[in-house]
């Protein structure tokens, strides 16, 4: 029975708490947890944690979570710029720590967090790795079903910042949220590529801010809040868009793009992988579908749309049959299940902070390249 | 705090129990429940109910559920042919009862259940009604956005019975499961049409059994079990396929088909509605997408793919933003939330047994028509 | 060198003439033709035939086409109710005759035409048979790749009559155009089913007219002309919609629908075929794509989208490579090429009037059923 | 009546000849042409030109085409490295010249051709500009329907070189075909971007050759020929793949990729354009479909699939109605129609060699960047 402390009780803090509650009913080999304490500055969220989620208690002081003797593992779901301090404290207390991506708001912070937490089990919230069809995609690639991989195309296009009246939340401020879309979205996209194909060695890239100022938020809100045209405005201090070309250690050629202010794609966290014998494609917007193309002898070759189902990893824990879909949050359940198993069995978890570091090394190279205007090695 | 009893702890019994546990963490206006007692003949399922789901106790005698003074409402998720007896008992005990569709295995049984339960709050598991985009579709139709409706096309095509080696579970036996694909799948399809467009008045139809015999099951299993070619076989005694043409009270012309033994569509519970100003389409396989066509002045008319998101009914309770999907079981959560609210507020719930009856009246007409070879009125 | 006469120089008359001109540049084994004479009551069309298409001459009297000694074969592309008279005359003159579908406006007329033309080579414009991917679909079915066929779903949904202000052209008048959507659209749909699966033996069906009156046309126009709200109106005297269930001689269960007044589908001439080992789907709106599902051992089964290309029948005559598409009229080119080859080699052509008759036998049964309200045998 | 000479009678030489023959039957305001003379070294092609296409004569000497007094305009459809010489000769003879893209095999050649031909009407075969839905896309962009454009994504992925046994045709040899996929495919992709959004100012890019050697061709063949594993091989001397990031003069951020050796996409010449109010997407593989997303007040926003039809530019010349598709070669017909009109009216044609030059300026910058490893200005 793992005593759980959660820091930050917004979207992801709640999602993890809900997920931990669901694990025993979904996984026979469950890793049981107790929701011990939750920290958040907002009183209504603390109240909700206790009343609706069954936390034993709540606090406005995150240190009280980390120090609590009945807390065995810590989930960090506070804004990015707080990550490193929280992780350092949890690691200092010798507690396993699961931190939401990107583990810090800047590459430096992620590196600090990684260095601090080498002696504890760490986990990072790259939840899309756990999508059943992404897991299966990785298996197909590893088994050589696509032949030798030649090309990779990753992107994460979201509209959450596309409305110029979307408020200036912490996500748009380098001092509060750290870097912008690279940390927030491209991190996911590159992490998936690492998961599927291994390390990236060189990149050339660029960034842009399309909406330079936004209405100041009138009150604490999620990043989907909206201001009025006449509201006072503040400057956006991190990037809306990033694009890059890259090479993988394996020789694969890749392109990545991410935007939080694009119009059209709503949550298009997508990739395509191409090899000498076939290709794969996946998109978060249609997470229960995998596109598969294979070179075959028959004339009727073409991309097939493979629907998720209980024959794929994890899927059957949620619903039997084929083409009965799972949802976004179910990926968090899988992630938390696997992290709890690692904690229970005292073994490392992947993706941990090593994987978080792997991404920020790419991010650093991208940001250096955006400055230098040339290819930069990933160090 | 509603004391809950669940009878039958297979796929749907577990799905409802899990859903009841999740409600408080998803709905601020939650209706709190306590999982009191669960009945199932299989000991490992009873054990699981207590250990993993937190039921206070479990029993192999369903009467112990209905009679328990700390049970305030009963969920029936046992095989179809048991429904009527259980419902009658729950109603006799004056307890609200939620019964999985189709409420009995034959139209006669559903009629008996409906008659018995008029004085209690009843609910039926037509869960697809609760899909956010189906809810929204209904609103568009009701608001006249599609103009006057002219045509409806409904179908439920599943592959669960397409493998001739799929075992002869209760679903394939008229004495154990009642009617076949009409009860199991077409019920959902016609119920959705009732939800969207109102009553059907006349039908002409046909049924067929494509796989006349199947391997006998060696042990109790779900309907996804598979036998071997040399296993002893038994006769399938209900229908694999049904098709019908119909007229709605409103004059709309409809077609329906259902098959459990088709190859290709994996869980294609789909409909298209056509009106004088637009059209809609939805498919369970892609439950987070709604197809919408509207007559417009611009040249660029066409079907739009609308992704689910927090701007649609219920969706935001599960995940914020747009195109972050929900899953199959989330529909059960919504259904149970709404049923619990009705119980808590002591008001009728829709779809209740009245709606279950409405379908079996259509089913009766379809089965009569399959005999008579002619159009039959829905009585 | 076949001397060609064309009667009716509207959409299809022109399409055939253009197609005949293109054959030599596309097919090395071409069957050469000379455009000799064209008949149409509209002077501007006659002029266009000579000036732009290179007809040697034009006339307002169709008899002059049939009687011309330098005309070796006749194409009939006049309105439906003229078909039978023209066909009888051509057959009496001993000339091969290609008639646009449905060969007459009523089943009786088609039967008369068929009886009259047994001694000449006849062809009918069921052009969708010739789509490369439809040809390939037929091959897959014939080769048993889909296993034993169990279900067929055909439809032709068009919006050409969906606008209530669309003028009352000959197509909406039983006396001028014969039957409505059954003759115009369902004919294509059922003909394709015959092509793919063989004869239909029993049907039950219904028809409806959703738009009972329409603006009178002010001048001769195509069926895409549009009136004004205050224009004088006349009654539509044939059907907008038809639906039917059927059984094929092989035991396959089928459904068909056709509508000319539906909103949404623009030219959805589509079918799905299901067998015990796989399924196929095709839609005229995406004529360069075939949907193929096959039962396979791999987990990654699903519908594949097969793009047209030069590896499929006829396609490479139009464009090399894969996924470089062909267009609607290219199907007419293939049809005319094959008809000319049959004429040149003096052998029967399929689909000929025998196939036209096969459809109207189904149509008769459908219309009888719409009267009788019961299943009717195809005689 | 324009006397036409065609040089090179392979795929595109035949396509243009066929197209010129079709124009009068499709366009009432036609520009009439006479097929005078065709040049090709292959005797069977010359014979075909005369016998099947109706050329008055054919020759193995291209000079005889340009010098012929009855030739008023010249079409160049020979391999790329011959373009410049032919264009120079045609221009010297004062004749309008239509040259297939990319007008020469290297940027230097294109620049030479452009300089030589400033005094004649020139045209270049960027045929995808003429797709009805691309034309319409441009109108939507120009009309501001998408708001201010922020992002562009272009690509051309083809499998024509994906088979390692595909023969070493001229396309794979820098001395015979000039540059590889940049000239062959990316040219189209960037040209479309120029057409839609205007000039590109800076790029950073990379190229790669994935299949370094290929079987030597045994005889002249198209680029779809295939060798055997043991055939003698030769080195591929130009690039299979190119990727680039760029900025447009307007500030738009773009990415482009092209590959001729990818597996999966068969003819994916595709783009997506994103603006502050909407987005568009188009793909040659589905040339009769346009994806359109618009910010709207309704909740039911989403990408709509707009099918081609006679309400879009040029489409109705080929087929009436909606969703009755046109084919690849029909784009060549439109292009030739417009070029002939320009010749007949003695006015400049766009895209002419100026537009061809605009692309090679980008190509030069891309190739410089692939060398320098940094951003390069388009000069
Ligand atoms: N893996 C994924 O798919 C996603 C990950 N995330 C990550 O999750 C983290 C949280 O993001 P959201 O939940 O979307 O943000 P949110 O704004 O919804 O929640 C953040 C919460 O942290 C609380 N907080 C602020 N200061 C705090 C402090 N000093 N101590 C304790 N709590 C504090 C806030 O009151 C708020 O309740 C971020 O790192 C983000 O990058 C967010 C969305 C999706
Ligand atoms: N709404 C929906 O989407 C779905 C509804 N259903 C419905 O749910 C019901 C149950 O189906 P599944 O859960 O799929 O079947 P299942 O076979 O997975 O579960 C049935 C359970 O009932 C138990 N049972 C048998 N006899 C019993 C008795 N006398 N007392 C108590 N329990 C008994 C069995 O041991 C088993 O655990 C059916 O009525 C079915 O039509 C099933 C699947 C989907
Ligand atoms: N296979 C296919 O996909 C299609 C087939 N059709 C068929 O083609 C036939 C013609 O249809 P459309 O070309 O669409 O019609 P349309 O209205 O465009 O052309 C009919 C032509 O016939 C002429 N005509 C009328 N009376 C005549 C007479 N006595 N003698 C000679 N010509 C006369 C009219 O002036 C007109 O030019 C119909 O039978 C229709 O069912 C039509 C559209 C598509
Ligand atoms: N716009 C488009 O979509 C496309 C454009 N093209 C372009 O068209 C041009 C031709 O390509 P394809 O037709 O595919 O090649 P192809 O190989 O099919 O045809 C080239 C023809 O040129 C002939 N030829 C070679 N040397 C000649 C000479 N000295 N004089 C006269 N003819 C000569 C060859 O015998 C052959 O018949 C190229 O520039 C290519 O880039 C090609 C394919 C598509």
Instruction: Transcribe B68-107 into DSSP letters.
Output: -TT--EEEE-S-HHHHHHHHHHHHHTT--EEE-TTSSSSH
Residue C71 has pLDDT above 60, yes or no: yes
Strands (E) located in chain A: 2-7, 33-39, 57-59, 73-76, 97-99, 122-124, 149-158, 200-208, 213-215, 233-235, 241-248, 253-259, 267-275, 278-283, 289-294, 303-307, 376-377
Give backbone dihedrals phi and psi of B256, rounded to 5 degrees, phi first: -135, 145
CB < 8 Å to B255, chain C: 243, 255, 257
Q: Is the CB of D39 under 6 A from ligand 4?
A: yes
- With an 8 Å Cβ cutoff, are C307 and A305 in contact? no
Q: CA–CA distance from A277 to each of A294, A346, B140, B225, C309 (Å)?
A: 6, 40, 46, 34, 19
Q: How many CA atoms lie within 13 A of C222 on its CB side?
A: 14
Measured in angstroms, how far is the CA atom of residue D14 from the centroid of ligand 4? 9
* Interface size between A and D, measured as CB pairs under 8 A: 98
Q: Which of B322, B331, B333 should be substituted to probe chain A, the one whose Cβ sees the most A Cβ atoms within 10 Å?
A: B322
B277 is written with which tokens?
Answer: 């100003």
May I ask the CATH class of domain C129-349+357-372? alpha beta
* % of chain D with per-residue pLDDT over 70: 98
Strand locations in D142-276, DSSP E?
149-158, 200-208, 213-215, 233-235, 241-248, 253-259, 267-275
Nearest CA in chain C to A306: C302
**Is C258:C192 a contact under the CB 8 Å cutoff?**
no
CA atoms within 13 A on the CB side of C275: 24
- The A-side interface with C (CB below 8 A) comprises 136, 140, 290, 292, 299-307, 311-312
pLDDT at B6 over 80: yes
Pocket probe mutation, ligand 1, options A19, A37, A40, A353, max atoms within 8 Å of Cβ: A40
Q: Which of D291, D336, D271 is nearest to D30 (CA)?
A: D336
Strands D57-59 and D33-39: parallel
Q: What is the pLDDT of residue A170?
A: 84
Q: How confident is the model at residue A247 (pLDDT cuts 50, 70, 90)?
A: very high
Mean of the pLDDT values across residues D205-213?
97
Whole-complex ipTM:
0.97
Confidence of residue A219 (pLDDT cuts 50, 70, 90): low
Which residue's entry shows tokens 């989330």?
A: B330
- Contacts of residue B17 in chain A, CB cutoff 8 Å? 25
Closest CA to C150 of B162, B180, B266: B162
DSSP-derived pairing of the beta strands A376-377 and B2-7: unpaired
Give residue-wise pLDDT tens across range D129-156. 999 999 999 999 999 999 999 999 999 9
CA B243 to ligand 2 centroid distance, Å: 25
- d(C-alpha C326, C-alpha A168), whole Å: 51
Contact B306 D306 (CB under 8 A): no
Higher per-residue confidence, C224 vs A278: A278
pLDDT per position as a tens digit, B345-356:
999 999 999 999
Q: Which two tokens stand for residue A53?
A: 């989620």
Residues of D in contact with A372 (CB under 8 A): 374
D300/B290 touch (CB, cutoff 8 Å), yes or no: yes
What pLDDT digit, counting tens, does each position of B120-156 carry? 999 999 999 999 999 999 999 999 999 999 999 999 9
Residue D223, pLDDT above cutoff 70: no
Q: Which residues make Cβ contacts (< 8 Å) with residue A343, sequence separation at least 6?
A: A2, A31, A72, A73, A96, A121, A349
The whole-number pLDDT of residue B224 equals 58
Return the structure tokens found at A319.
Answer: 């619903």
Q: pLDDT class for A218, splitting at 50, 70, 90?
A: confident
Exposed, middle or buried by CB within 10 Å (0-12, 13-18, 19+), for D133?
Answer: buried
Q: Which H or E element spans position C269?
A: strand C267-275
CB contact under 8 Å between B312 and D299, yes or no, is: yes
Q: What is the mean pLDDT of the segment spanning C138-166?
A: 97
pLDDT in tens, C159-194: 999 999 999 988 899 998 899 999 999 999 999 999
Contact C168, C214 (CB under 8 A): yes
DSSP string of A272-295, one letter each residue? EEEESSEEEEEEGGGTTEEEEEE-
- Judge: domain B129-328+357-372, CATH 3.40.50.2300: no
Q: What burial letters (b/e) apply to B323-348, b meaning 16+ CB within 10 Å?
A: bbbbbbbbbbbbbbbbbbbbbbeeee
Please count the residue pairs, one from chain C and one from chain D, whose beta carbons lie less than 8 angstroms apart. Answer: 124
d(CA D251, CA D271): 18
Helix axes D107-116, D80-92, angle to 10 degrees: 10
Tens digit of each residue's pLDDT (9 = 90 or more) over D290-341: 999 999 999 999 999 999 999 999 999 999 999 999 999 999 999 999 999 9
Tell me which of B5, B9, B12, B285 to substitute to probe ligand 2's pocket, judged by most ligand atoms within 8 Å of the beta carbon.
B12
| pLDDT confidence band for B226 (50 / 70 / 90) | confident
Q: Phi then psi for A57, rounded to 5 degrees?
A: -160, 170
Mutation to test the C interface, candidates B264, B286, B297, B303, most C Cβ within 10 Å: B264
Residues in chain C whose Cβ is within 8 Å of chain B: 146-147, 150-151, 153, 162, 164, 204-206, 208, 210, 241, 243-245, 253, 255, 257, 259, 261-265, 272, 274-279, 293, 295, 303, 372-375
CA of A189 vs chain B CAs: smallest distance (Å): 16
Rounded to 10°, the helix B187-197/B132-142 angle is 40
Give the whole-angstrom CA distance, residue C209 versus residue C230: 21
Flag if B324 and A328 touch (Cβ within 8 Å): yes
A2-126 has CATH 3.40.50.300 classification: no
Residue D171 in this model has a pLDDT that exceeds 90: no
The verdict on the CB of residue D177 being under 6 Å from ligand 4 is no
Between chain B and chain D, the number of residue pairs with CB atoms below 8 A apart is 44
Distance CA C309, CA C287 (A): 12
Residue from C5, C7, C10 whose mutation best tests the ligand 3 pocket (most atoms within 8 A of CB): C10
Among chain D residues, the shortest Cα distance to C128 is held by D324
Separation CA D185–CA D183 (nearest Å): 6
Q: Using CA positions, which residue lies closest to atom 44 of ligand 2?
A: B12
Q: Are C34 and C101 in contact (CB under 8 A)?
A: no
What are the sequence ranges of the domains in chain D?
Answer: 2-126, 129-349+357-372
Q: Is the peptide bond before B102 cis (omega within 30 degrees of 0)?
A: yes
For domain B2-127, say whether CATH 3.40.50.720 is its number. yes
Q: What is the dihedral of CA D101, D102, D105, D107, to 10 degrees?
A: 160
- Name C197's Cβ contacts closer than 8 Å, sequence gap at least 6: C141, C149, C152, C248, C250, C252, C273
* Residue of D299, D300, D306 with shortest CB distance to B300: D306
In the three-class reduction of DSSP (H, G, I as helix; E, B as strand; rest coil), residue D257 is classed as strand
- pLDDT tens string B15-25: 999 999 999 99
Averaged pLDDT score across all residues of chain B: 96
CA distance B208 to B260: 11
Residue D53 has pLDDT above 80, yes or no: yes
| C144 φψ region: left (φ > 0), alpha (ψ -120 to 50), beta (else) | left
For residue D224, the model assigns a pLDDT of 58
- Mutation target for C interface from A286, A302, A311: give the one with most C CBs within 10 A: A302
pLDDT at C260 over 80: yes
Q: What span, in angstroms and rounded, lies between the C-alpha atoms of B54 and A24?
A: 9
Position B219 scores a pLDDT of 60
Q: How many CB atoms are closer than 10 A to CB C280? A: 29
- Show the 3-state SS of A50-62: HHCCCCCEEECCH
- Select the residue from B184, B262, B307, B321 to test the A interface by mutation, using most A Cβ atoms within 10 A: B321
Q: Nearest by CB to A304, which of C136, C302, C311?
A: C302
D238 lines ligand 4 (CB under 6 A): no
Partner residue opposite B301 with nearest CB, options D301, D302, D306: D306
Average pLDDT over residues B209-230: 81
Tell me which of B361-365, C102-106, D303-307 is least confident: C102-106
Give dist(CA D308, CA D316) in Å, integer. Answer: 9
- pLDDT at position A220 over 70: no
Q: Nearest chain C Cα to B151, which residue?
A: C262
Quote the minimal CA–CA distance from D354 to chain A in Å: 29
């Amino acid at each position: 029975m793992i005593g759980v402390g959660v820091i930050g009780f917004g979207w992801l803090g709640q999602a993890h708490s809900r997920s931990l509650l669901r694990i025993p009913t979904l996984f026979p080999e469950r890793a049981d947890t107790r929701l011990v304490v939750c920290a958040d500055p907002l009183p209504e969220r603390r109240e909700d944690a206790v009343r609706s989620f069954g936390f034993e208690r709540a606090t406005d002081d995150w240190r009280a979570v980390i120090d609590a003797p009945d807390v065995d593992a810590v989930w960090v779901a506070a804004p990015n710029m707080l990550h490193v301090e929280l992780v350092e404290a949890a690691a200092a207390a010798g507690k396993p720590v699961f931190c939401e991506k990107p583990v810090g708001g800047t590459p430096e912070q992620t590196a600090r967090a990684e260095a601090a937490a080498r002696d504890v089990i760490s986990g990072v919230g790259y939840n899309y790795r756990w999508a059943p069809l992404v897991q299966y995609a990785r298996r197909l690639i590893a088994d050589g079903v696509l032949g030798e991989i030649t090309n990779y195309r990753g992107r994460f296009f979201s509209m959450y910042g596309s409305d110029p009246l979307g408020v200036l939340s912490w996500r748009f401020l380098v001092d509060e949220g750290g870097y912008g879309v690279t940390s927030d979205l491209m991190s996911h996209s590159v992490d998936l590529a690492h998961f599927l194909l291994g390390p990236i060695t060189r990149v050339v890239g660029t960034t842009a801010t399309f909406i330079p100022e936004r209405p100041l938020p009138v009150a604490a809100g999620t990043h989907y809040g909206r201001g009025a045209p006449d509201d006072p405005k503040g400057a956006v201090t991190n990037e809306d868009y990033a694009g890059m070309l890259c090479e993988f250690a394996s020789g694969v050629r890749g392109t990545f793009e991410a935007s939080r202010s694009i119009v059209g794609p709503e949550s298009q966290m997508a990739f395509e992988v191409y090899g000498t014998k076939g290709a794969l494609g996946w998109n978060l917007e249609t997470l229960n579908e995998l596109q598969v193309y294979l070179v075959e002898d028959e004339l009727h070759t073409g991309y097939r749309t493979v629907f998720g189902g209980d024959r794929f990893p994890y899927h059957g824990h949620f619903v039997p049959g084929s083409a009965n879909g799972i949802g976004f949050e179910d990926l968090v359940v899988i992630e938390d299940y696997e992290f709890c198993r690692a904690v229970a069995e005292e073994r490392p978890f992947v993706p941990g902070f090593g994987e978080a570091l792997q991404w920020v090394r790419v991010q650093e190279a991208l940001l250096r390249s955006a400055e230098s205007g040339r290819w930069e090695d990933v160090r």
